[in-house]
Structure 1
Amino acid sequence: MFKSLTIYKVDPSWNISLDRAEEQAGKARFVECGPTQRMSMGWSEPRGEEHGRLVESVGGQWIMKCTIDKKILPASVIKKKLAERVKKIEADTGRKPHKKELKDLKEEVILDLLPKAFSKQESVAVWIDPKKKLVVLDVGSQSKGDDIGSLLAATFEGFGLTLIQTQTSAATSMAEWLRERVCPTGFSIDRDCELKTTDEAKSAVKYSHHGLDIEEVREHLKSGKVPTCLAMTWDDRVSFVLTDAMAIKKLAFLEVVFEKAKGDEDPFDANAAIATGELSKLIPDLIEALGGELAEA
Structure 2
Amino acid sequence: MWFKNLLIYRFTRPFSTSLEELNEKLSAAAFHPCSSQEQSSYGWSKPLGDAGSEYLHAANGCVMLCVKQQEKVLPAAVVNEVLDEKIREIQEADGRKPGRKERTDMKEEIVFDLLPRAFSRSRKLYAYIDIEAGLLFVDSASHKKAEELLTLLRETLGSLPVIPLKAKNTAQHCLTEWVAGAAPTGFELGGECELRDRADETAVIRAKNQDLSSEQIQSHLQSGMFVSKLAMTWTGGIDFVVDDQLSIKRIAFGDLIRERADDINADTMAEQFDADFSIMAGEFAKFIPAVIAAFGGEEVEEGAA
The equivalent of 1:205 in structure 2 is 205
Instruction: Go from structure 1 to structure 2 and tell me whether the alpha carbon gap of 1:3 and 1:77 turns closer, same or farther (over 3 Å shift).
Output: same
Hey, what's the Cα distance between the residues in 2 that align with 1:294 and 1:212? 29
Q: For the structure 1 residues 48 and 290, does the alpha-carbon distance in structure 2 shift closer, same or farther, using more than 3 Å as the test?
A: same
**Contact kept? 1:54, 1:65, Cα under 8 Å:** yes
Q: Is the 8 A contact 2:62 2:131 kept in 1?
A: yes
Structure 1 residue 252: Cα displacement? 1.1
Q: How many residues align?
A: 295
Q: CA deviation at 1:89?
A: 4.7
Q: Could you tell me which residue of structure 2 aligns to residue 43 of structure 1?
A: 44
CA pair 236-79 structure 1, distance change in 2 beyond 3 A: same
Does the CA-based 8 Å contact 2:196-2:228 persist in structure 1?
A: yes
Alpha-carbon separation, structure 1, partners of 2:198 and 2:102: 40
Alignment map for 1:1-297 (pairs within 5 Å): 1-50=2-51, 52-90=53-91, 92=94, 94-98=96-100, 100-179=101-180, 181-197=181-197, 202-258=202-258, 260-261=260-261, 262-265=263-266, 266-296=271-301
Label 1:77 to 1:17 Cα distance change in 2 as closer, same or farther (>3 A).
Answer: same
The whole-number CA distance in structure 2 between the counterparts of 1:26 and 1:168 is 41
Q: Distance in 1 between matches of 2:58 and 2:247?
A: 25
1:159-218 C-alpha deviation (Å, 9 max, x unpaired): 233222333343332122112x22222121111222244677834322222221112112
Residue 153 of structure 2 aligns with an amino acid whose one-letter code is L
- Shift in Å at residue 147 of structure 1? 0.8
Give TM-score scaled by structure 1 length: 0.88
* 1:216-243 superposed Cα distances (whole Å, 9 cap, x missing partner): 1122234444434211111241111112
Q: Give the CA deviation at 1:96.
A: 4.0
Q: What's the CA shift string for 1:55-96, capped at 9, x where partnerless?
A: 111111101221121222223333333444444455536244
Q: Which moved more, 1:138-147 or 1:219-228?
A: 219-228
Verify the 8 A CA contact 2:264 2:275 in the aligned structure 1: no
Q: Do the aligned partners of residues 263 and 132 (structure 1) sit closer, same or farther apart at CA in structure 2, a change above 3 Å counting? A: closer
Displacement of 1:271 after TM fit? 0.5
* Paired letter, 1:274: I
Tell me how far apart the structure 2 counterparts of residues 285 and 115 of structure 1 sit (CA, whole Å). Answer: 51
What RMSD in Å do the two structures reach over aligned CA positions?
Answer: 2.5
Unaligned runs of 5+ in 1: none
Q: Name the % identity.
A: 32
- 1:108 deviation in Å? 2.8
TM-score under structure 2 length normalisation = 0.86
Residue type of the partner of 1:45? K
